[in-house]
């Protein structure tokens, strides 16, 4: 006969494993939501920062262009008072324009570098979230695998115990039958 206490113990262990898997799965779902909210907050903050960087850059360029226009006006007045030639006047204006162009390029280069930095932070946050969720996913799947394979293992063990007891009983009957056949001879 089979050992009912062992069967009950295996059934309880299997039920506990399933409860554990359900608990781990709930924790995984909660973590997913929490990480989603956290990642969305990071993205929202980074969008705000990108807007601020673009706005700051726009204001800097506007200020620099206005400053260059004032400088060009001052150069025109000064050169006009000095009575310089058109070639000299154009050379001074080109110099101011060149400097202004370099400044605007530098402002744009800095803007792009800041935006790239913010994009890298967003990518890093996304990767960290994915890594966290992958670990939690594998933990949840592992708990389910343990519950499923634990149940299968328990069933096989019960079956093997039954088979073993049946084989022992059969062997005992055969031994008794062989002994009685031997006594008849």
CATH of the domain at 53: 1.10.287
- Report yes or no: 153 and 6 within 8 Å, Cβ to Cβ: no
CA distance 104 to 87: 25
Residue 13 domain-assigned? yes
Domains identified in the chain, total number: 1
- Report yes or no: 6 and 161 within 8 Å, Cβ to Cβ: yes
Residue 183 domain-assigned? no
Q: What pLDDT digit, counting tens, does each position of 8-63 carry?
A: 777 777 778 788 888 888 988 999 999 999 999 999 999 999 999 999 999 999 99
Confidence (pTM)? 0.63
Residue 184 domain-assigned? no
Structure tokens that stand for 87 in this block: 């070639």
Q: In 3D, which of 136, 163, 119 has the Cα closest to residue 35?
A: 136
Q: In 3D, which of 95, 100, 102 has the Cα closest to residue 75?
A: 95
Domain that holds residue 8: 4-175
Residue 20 domain-assigned? yes
Residue 42 domain-assigned? yes
Q: What pLDDT digit, counting tens, does each position of 96-138 carry?
A: 888 888 889 999 999 999 999 999 999 999 999 999 998 888 8
């Amino acid at each position: 006969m089979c050992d009912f206490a062992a069967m009950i113990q295996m059934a309880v262990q299997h039920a506990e494993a399933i409860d554990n898997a359900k608990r781990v799965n709930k924790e995984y779902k909660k973590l997913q939501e929490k990480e989603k909210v956290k990642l969305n907050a990071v993205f929202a903050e980074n969008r705000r920062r990108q807007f601020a960087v673009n706005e700051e850059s726009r204001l800097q360029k506007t200020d620099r262009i206005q400053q260059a226009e004032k400088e060009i006006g001052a150069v025109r007045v000064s050169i006009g008072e000095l009575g310089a030639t058109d070639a000299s006047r154009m050379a001074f204006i080109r110099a101011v324009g060149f400097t202004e162009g370099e400044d605007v390029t530098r402002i744009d280069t800095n803007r792009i570098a800041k935006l790239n930095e913010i994009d890298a932070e967003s990518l890093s946050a996304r990767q960290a979230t994915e890594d966290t969720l992958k670990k939690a996913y594998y933990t949840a799947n592992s708990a389910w695998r343990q519950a499923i394979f634990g149940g299968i293992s328990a069933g096989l063990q019960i079956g093997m115990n039954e088979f073993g007891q049946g084989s022992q009983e059969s062997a005992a009957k055969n031994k008794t039958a062989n002994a009685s056949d031997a006594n008849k001879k």
